[in-house]
């Protein structure tokens, strides 16, 4: 297969926004080692390959969500035995952020199980953003859909990132969620982008979707006018009491392939290895890093599901020779990295021109 036509010449720093299903499926079908090799090439054009960004995620309002996302223990539609909690006090959130910083996180993400943040809670959310920023941490929130005005209010408070996942392809979406439309999701992402907040958006694998669905979801993200700065790729955590609790396990290699394709399509984005790490071996996580994942959540909990202990992550990083980015802004020196890589490219065989490669 001639892969040259599938790959993008990133040496000009231009990103591609017109992916089509055929070309993305061809990437998915590449021999594994070729796919990983191309993903590494894309990754090294824009990032230090031995650095990973670390965030911590706190649930600031838990459970009783009116949405019916079939994977989610926080949905009020399913009985998962989850303890519901109202919005946490601002000071309690700030104390958790201090702990996250001490454990090595550089970004603090706050998640609330809402359809849309209630107006009466907005001042508290703004105070949380303010307090967490004062600790020197980047801030991220995931609160459901956002109107333009809400996105602007959060941006004004200084919010750095907003997470709103597409979850899956538009075609498969109605199998997973019926209470919120795909276009509402896209509208929220557009509102976030227009407000100037960095966009964090990705999906969940292992919900019964096809490879074409994974490709289609990545196309939605990569064909946006600007790629999301952060692309979380989650492995489904099968929670008892949710409709997906007994679904077939996702194959680890299929998961790595999706990370690699995401990195080739959106090479400048941080691809986050998100939920599901608890059920992955160190070797599978290492393969994900090799495929271009360069962001993780630290901490023993992800909203309501388990995550590896921070100390386990640090041990794995040490084994792999990985260090962490200090902050997004500090380390998002992509033009600098690109320049350095481009100059290395001429003298170092680790870097070769993907556009002339064929297998
Ligand atoms: S994923 Fe979010 S929107 Fe969906 S049920 Fe869970 S908390 Fe609600």
Residue 233 β-bridge partners: 203, 273
65 assigned to active site: yes
User: What residue's CA is closest to ligand 1, atom 5?
Assistant: 75
Distance between Cα 66 and ligand 1 center (Å): 8
**What is the mean pLDDT of the segment spanning 294-316?**
71
What is the pLDDT, as a whole number, of residue 279?
Answer: 85
Q: What is the pLDDT of residues 138-164, one digit of tens each?
A: 999 999 999 999 999 999 999 999 999
**What is the mean pLDDT of the segment spanning 123-151?**
94
For residue 351, the Cα-to-chain-centroid distance in whole angstroms is: 26
Q: What is the pLDDT of residues 173-230, one digit of tens each?
A: 999 999 999 999 999 999 999 999 999 999 999 999 999 999 999 999 999 999 999 9
Tell me what the pLDDT averaged over the chain comes to: 85
Grade residue 345 by pLDDT with cuts at 50, 70 and 90. Answer: very low
Ligand 1 binding pocket (C-beta < 6 A) is 65, 67, 69, 72, 74-75, 113, 144
Which of the following is catalytic: 140, 180, 257, 277? Answer: 140
Distance between Cα 98 and ligand 1 center (Å): 26
288 assigned to active site: no
User: What residue's CA is closest to ligand 1, atom 4?
Assistant: 69
Distance between Cα 112 and ligand 1 center (Å): 9
Residue 139 β-bridge partners: 108
Distance between Cα 166 and ligand 1 center (Å): 12
Which of the following is catalytic: 107, 272, 277, 288? Answer: 272
Grade residue 76 by pLDDT with cuts at 50, 70 and 90. Answer: confident
What is the reported pTM? 0.84
User: What residue's CA is closest to ligand 1, atom 7?
Assistant: 113
What is the pLDDT, as a whole number, of residue 2?
Answer: 56
Grade residue 81 by pLDDT with cuts at 50, 70 and 90. Answer: confident
109 assigned to active site: yes
- Percent over 70 (pLDDT), the chain: 84
Q: What is the pLDDT of residues 247-290, one digit of tens each?
A: 999 999 999 999 999 999 999 999 999 878 888 899 999 999 99
Which of the following is catalytic: 44, 109, 214, 257? Answer: 109
d(CA 105, CA 73): 25
């Amino acid at each position: 297969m001639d892969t040259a036509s599938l790959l993008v010449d990133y040496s000009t720093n231009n990103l591609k926004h017109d992916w089509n299903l055929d070309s993305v499926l061809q990437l998915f079908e590449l021999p594994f080692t070729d796919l990983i090799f191309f993903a590494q090439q894309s990754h090294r054009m824009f990032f230090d390959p031995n650095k990973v960004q670390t965030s911590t995620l706190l649930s600031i309002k838990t459970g009783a969500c009116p949405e019916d996302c079939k994977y989610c223990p926080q949905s009020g539609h399913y009985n998962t035995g989850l303890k519901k909690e109202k919005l946490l006090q601002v000071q309690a959130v700030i104390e958790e952020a201090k702990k996250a910083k001490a454990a090595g996180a550089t970004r603090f993400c706050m998640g609330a199980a809402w359809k849309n943040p209630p107006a009466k809670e907005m001042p508290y959310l703004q105070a949380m953003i303010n307090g967490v920023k004062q600790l020197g941490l980047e801030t991220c929130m995931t609160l459901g859909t956002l109107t333009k005005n809400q996105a602007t209010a959060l941006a004004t408070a200084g919010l750095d990132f907003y997470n709103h996942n597409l979850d899956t392809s538009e075609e498969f979406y109605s199998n997973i969620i019926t209470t919120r439309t795909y276009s509402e999701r896209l509208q929220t992402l557009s509102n976030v982008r227009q407000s100037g907040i960095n966009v964090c958006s990705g999906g969940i694998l292992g919900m019964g979707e096809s490879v074409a669905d994974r490709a289609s979801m990545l196309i939605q993200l990569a064909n946006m006018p600007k790629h999301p700065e952060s692309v979380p790729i989650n492995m489904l955590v099968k929670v008892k009491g949710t409709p997906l609790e007994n679904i077939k396990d996702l194959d680890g290699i299929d998961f790595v392939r999706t990370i690699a394709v995401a990195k080739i399509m959106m090479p400048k984005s941080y691809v986050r290895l998100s939920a599901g790490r608890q059920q992955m071996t160190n070797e599978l996580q290492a393969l994900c890093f090799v495929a271009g994942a360069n962001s993780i959540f630290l901490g023993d909990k992800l909203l309501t599901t388990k995550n590896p202990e921070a100390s386990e992550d640090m041990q794995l990083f040490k084994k792999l020779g990985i260090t962490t980015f200090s902050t997004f802004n500090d380390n998002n020196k992509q033009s600098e990295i690109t320049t350095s890589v481009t100059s290395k490219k001429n003298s170092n065989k680790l870097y070769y021109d993907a556009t002339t490669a064929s297998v």
